[in-house]
Amino acid sequence: MRIGIVCPYSFDVPGGVQNHVMDLAEALIGLGHEVSVLAPADEDSPLPPYVVSAGRAVPLPYNGSVARIAFGPVSTTRVRRWIARGEFDVLHVHEPLTLSLSMLAVLSARGPVVATFHTAMTRSRVLAAAQGLLQIVLERITARIAVSALARKVQVEHMDGGAVEIPNGVTVAKFSHATPLPGWPGECDLGEGGTLGFLGRFTEARKGFPILRDAFVELARTRPGLRLLVAGPGNPDDLFDQFPADLRDRVTFLGLVSEDDKARMLRSAHLYVAPNTGGESFGMILTEALAAGTTVVASDLDAFRRVLDGGRAGLLFPTGDAVGLRAALVGLLDDPARRAELTACGDQVVAHFDWPVVARRVLEVYAAAIEATDGRVIDQEWAGLG
């Protein structure tokens, strides 16, 4: 099968959707399919061989964060050329309601279109100003995928249609076989120590880092060997300024990490902490931590509860509650049997998220979309931005 996949967000900046697109493409290629991915990226950016750059992206505030997208007449021309050259059996776009390459691809497509929705956002000032355009986009989508129950609920209640729920995948072997970072031994007899891990933008409010910081500071006073391992974008001074001077040497900041080093970082922590306060439709980092064999402690968000099988595969604490988080951490650090029980359940849960399993489910949706269009080609031309 010839498959065209469109990523709305720039490959110059790591992100959950970008990683999803790359992993899906590689899983499909591994299953014997021909795949081309179109995404924003600077012309000199190192890209996988299956990725085609659509040019430089610009920042756009979106869902409490900043998305780097490409849109406009030049992008429209590039999208149309890529589609014409690809002669795809199916076009798979991600987040098509974002003003991005994905929306342009839907409007330019002439065959079956599958759309994946990652977020559970129901409102956006940008989207509200473009309701007519959104309706055209939705009408041109043949089949929809939602990565979570919350994302699917948005489709049913706000987008006049349903969606097949297929979760984000994770390459389990990559994480389970990773070696810890030098000096970070991973699982051992913790005593009065232990390592907590956090990955994300620590300055972004909904990631909840201050909750983890407060819990760590209190706990570190009674556990002299406790350490905190942080990875993600940000200024080191902005991170260390949040901690008392006498505890800063127990905080390690890795900055932005590669996918390989992310796996090694997760393997280096005894507990991975996800203190997010909201805005999550799935929780990709949780499946990655489970794949690494790291015990997970997470906010009791609905999306996280679903990933962690209601708390069987990871410990949930009251969202936004630093005291509750501290209690959860104490209980797990001092209870190796409980950690082992959660990790064993995590191994069972994450097997359902392994990319070859997920990719086969996506292929079923492709087949249904192709059958639904019966090989028909859309003749209507869209002249909006071209």
Q: How do residues 54-72 score in pLDDT, each as one tens digit?
A: 988 777 665 556 677 788 8
Per-residue confidence (pLDDT) for residue 380, from 0 to 100: 45
Cβ proximity of 51 and 41 under 8 Å: yes
Burial of residue 297 (CB within 10 Å: 0-12, 13-18, 19+) is buried
Per-residue pLDDT of 275-307, as tens digits, reads: 999 988 778 899 999 999 999 999 999 989 999
Per-residue confidence (pLDDT) for residue 57, from 0 to 100: 79
Whose CA is closest to 58, among 67, 46, 48, 49?
Answer: 67
Highest mean pLDDT among 6-10, 146-150, 377-381: 6-10
Longest Cα pair distance anywhere in the chain, in angstroms? 70
Check pLDDT > 90 for residue 111.
yes
Whose CA is closest to 253, among 310, 213, 211, 294?
Answer: 213
Q: Which residues contact 49 (CB under 8 A, 6 or more apart)?
A: none
Please name the amino acid found at residue 279: G
Check pLDDT > 90 for residue 369.
yes
Q: How many CB atoms lie within 10 A of CB 182?
A: 8
CA distance 53 to 200: 26
- The beta-strand segments (E) located in 11-157 are 34-39, 51-53, 58-62, 65-69, 90-94, 113-117, 143-146
Q: Using pLDDT thresholds of 50, 70 and 90, give the confidence band for residue 382.
A: very low
Cβ proximity of 105 and 75 under 8 Å: no
Checking DSSP bridges between strand 58-62 and strand 65-69, what pairing results, if any? antiparallel
Whose CA is closest to 336, among 295, 275, 305?
Answer: 295
Whose CA is closest to 378, among 71, 132, 142, 115?
Answer: 142
Please report, for the chain, the start and end positions of each structural domain, with discontinuous segments joined by +: 2-169+354-373, 172-352
Distances in whole angstroms, Cα of residue 74 to Cα of each of 70, 78, 378:
9, 6, 23
Q: Using pLDDT thresholds of 50, 70 and 90, give the confidence band for residue 375.
A: low
Please name the amino acid found at residue 128: A
Q: What is the phi-psi region of residue 191: left when phi exceeds 0, alpha when psi lies from -120 to 50, beta otherwise?
A: left
Q: Using pLDDT thresholds of 50, 70 and 90, give the confidence band for residue 256.
A: very high
Q: How many CB atoms lie within 10 A of CB 129?
A: 11
Cβ proximity of 163 and 191 under 8 Å: no
Per-residue confidence (pLDDT) for residue 284, from 0 to 100: 86
Per-residue pLDDT of 326-339, as tens digits, reads: 999 999 999 999 99
Per-residue confidence (pLDDT) for residue 373, from 0 to 100: 87
Checking DSSP bridges between strand 90-94 and strand 113-117, what pairing results, if any? parallel
Burial of residue 381 (CB within 10 Å: 0-12, 13-18, 19+) is exposed
CA distance 146 to 297: 25
Instruction: Provide the Cα torsion 53, 55, 57, 63; round to 10°.
Output: -40
Supply the pTM of this predicted model.
0.79
What is the H or E stretch that residue 230 is in? Answer: strand 225-231
Q: Which two tokens stand for residue 302?
A: 């609905």
Indicate the CATH number for domain 172-352: 3.40.50.2000
Radius of gyration of the chain (CA): 22
Q: Do domains 2-169+354-373 and 172-352 have the same CATH topology?
A: yes
Cβ proximity of 283 and 316 under 8 Å: no
Domain 2-169+354-373 architecture: 3-Layer(aba) Sandwich (3.40)
Query: For the chain, what's the residue count?
Result: 386
